[in-house]
Amino acid sequence: MAAPGTWLGFDVGGSYLKAARVSSEGRVEERLHEPIAGGSLAALVGQLASAMEALGGRDAARAIGIGLPGIVDRTGRVFNAPALPVLNGQALGAELSRGTGLPVSIENDANAAALGEAWLGAGQDAASVLLVTLGTGVGAGIVLEGRVWAGRSGFAGELGHIQVEPAGVQCSCGSWGCLETVASARGWRRRAEQHLASTASVLRGSDLEPTTIVEAARAGDGVALEIVDGAAAALGVGLAAALNLLNLSRVLVGGGMAAAGPFLLERVVEQTRRRTFAQVFADCSFRLAELGNDAGLLGAARTAMLAGG
């Protein structure tokens, strides 16, 4: 039979599996979303194989692409996967390929999301795209001329670990004052707690979630504005470094905190402008990401397509 024109994209997360069968134009033809079976590698491979069956079986797709929360080395082994430790040291692609008979390609989840946005989302008319994902942490992915730039061993795009405060708090990576320590949801909370120890604010007694902080900042609360502006300045430092280095055409801001919308984005753009070569800044446009939770899934399918499966 002729090879089908669809691919499977699996977004493997610490808590959930999202999977879909996707056409060559990026149309989602079927999808599923279920809790991850992350107890053992065998359980996970079994779940992914069942997902393939649920999405039409091996004859319905040409190949499988996976985005996962870890780094994939040149031999296809996964490492640095604290959100799903069962993956560490495992060649998930080879295992799944053996189990399903389909080619399997793997990409880091932040890179997959960037690829998804570059393909079908807010980066689709741009030659080079940096997606910054603001959530519990700060993730990022770089797509150059339609392909992920993962670097020699998969670590490229770790924008969240550019140092923005040399005397800042220690980061999970071992360094100090990384962008992630300031601009992630955890960073916002930590800084809010610091300010609230000495300054009055409507935030006192609140949940200190980013949406609450942005709401208070919009209403003019001084502490909340300090948190948002501090995060924007830190992002400006990181993005200016990335832009001066790579002269990119598009920066996208996504993740849960992108729900703060233009209120945060405008500040990030201004803070970046102040620190970037004028021509480099003029070459780049800034947008909010558009695909939300589907970015990783679509990017995973695209990973399989680009691998030639």
Interaction site with Zn ion (CB under 5 A): 161, 171, 173, 175, 178
**112 alpha carbon, distance to own chain's centre:** 7
> Which amino acid is residue 150, in one-letter code?
A
The residue (of 9 and 137) whose beta carbon lies closer to Zn ion is: 137
Nearer to Zn ion, 150 or 178 (CB): 178
Whole-number minimum distance, CB 170 to Zn ion, in Å? 9
Instruction: Give the helix, strand, coil percentages of the chain, each rounded to 5.
Output: 45, 20, 35
The nearest distance, CB 182 to Zn ion, in angstroms, is 11
| Residue number with CB closer to Zn ion (121 or 177) | 177
Nearer to Zn ion, 186 or 275 (CB): 186
Q: What is the dihedral of CA 39, 42, 45, 50, to 10 degrees?
A: -90
Can you state the angle between helices 210-218 and 222-246, rounded to 10 degrees? 110
Closest distance to Zn ion from the beta carbon of 138 (Å): 9
State in angstroms the smallest separation of the CB of 125 from Zn ion.
32
Least Cβ distance, residue 105 to Zn ion (angstroms):
28
Smallest distance, Å, CB 249 to Zn ion? 27
Write the CB contacts of 220 (distance below 8 Å, at least 6 apart in sequence): none
Q: Which is nearer to Zn ion, 123 or 177 (CB)?
A: 177
Structural contact between residues 303 and 63, judged by C-beta atoms closer than 8 angstroms? no
C-alpha 35/C-alpha 229 separation (Å) is: 36
Contact 215, 248 (CB under 8 A): no
* Closest residue by Cα to residue 15 from 61, 69, 58: 69
**Residue 3 or 173 with smaller CB distance to Zn ion:** 173
C-alpha triplet 276, 280, 281: angle, nearest 5°? 65
